[in-house]
Amino acid sequence: MKSIDIYKGISLDKIPWKREASPNVLIHSIEKLITKPSHLLDLGCGLGNDAAYFASKGHKITGIDSSETAILHAKQLFKEKNLAGNFLELDLCKLLALPKHTYDMAYDFEVLHHIFPSNRDTYAKNVSNLLKSQAYYLSICFSEKDENFGGEGKFRDTPIGTKLYFSSKEEIEELMSKYFNILEIKEIELKGSSIPHQAIFCLMQKV
């Protein structure tokens, strides 16, 4: 069954995660780890803004998203900015025949809370298979301590009609430690539309 394309039927201006500037926590974390142009994998690349930032800094970029609409917008953005990038419409929650050991680092920013626990092991395994040995992986998702969207419950509905899953730090650690060495995991604060989001920052390295 094909994933629902959450970008269809909604104005891009209504997409909460649509932003022109990449988050500082993402930029600083990657720049600290990757000191020379490398091949980065943008997981859940959306409209391509973060991918465009890193491409402009000389990195080779591949973006993956399950939304055909998002991929088309990301390709158009790169064309307008005269940037080189590769974008793939893929659902990493399914077992896929993927190219293995290709990327130096992967990141997903505010993506994992869109993936429910029943699909997360397959997702993490696919990400691991895509990465080179010793490659880094950074995942930042909403914490169960977040007070947005009703402020309670693991599953919460959003104003745009999506349902999110809010994780504990222990859940993320248990999930990711099967495929990665966890270098740092902590609670952080992210910008929100009304109040800040509480999020889990997990930096890993492929086993």
Report if residue 25 sits inside a domain.
Answer: no
Task: Please give the pLDDT value at position 1.
Answer: 32
DSSP type of residue 124: H
**159 is a domain residue:** no
Residue 151 forms part of a structural domain: no
Residue 70 located in a structural domain: yes
DSSP designation for 115: S
C-alpha torsion angle, residues 108, 199, 170, 174 (rounded to 10): 0
CA 1 to chain centre: 22
Q: Which residue has the tokens 């997903």?
A: 108
For residue 76, the tally of other CB atoms under 10 A from its CB is 12
Tell whether 204 is covered by a domain: no
The structure tokens 């893929």 sit at 90
Give residue 88's domain range.
Answer: 38-143+167-181
Residue 46 has a pLDDT of 92
Any idea what DSSP says for residue 114? G
In 3-state terms, what secondary structure has residue 35? coil
Residue 57 lies inside a defined structural domain of this protein: yes
Length of the chain: 207
CATH of the domain at 61: 3.40.50.150
The answer to whether position 1 is within a domain reads: no
Domains held by the chain: number: 1
Of 165, 187, 169, nearest to 177 (Cα)?
169
Per-residue pLDDT of the chain (207 residues; tens, 9 = 90+): 345 676 666 666 666 656 678 999 999 999 999 989 999 999 999 999 999 999 999 999 999 999 999 999 999 999 999 999 999 999 999 988 888 888 999 999 999 999 999 999 999 999 999 999 999 999 999 999 999 998 899 999 988 888 999 999 999 999 999 999 999 999 999 988 789 999 999 999 998
Contact indicator for 73, 12 with CB cutoff of 8 Å: yes
Asked if residue 26 belongs to a domain, the reply is: no
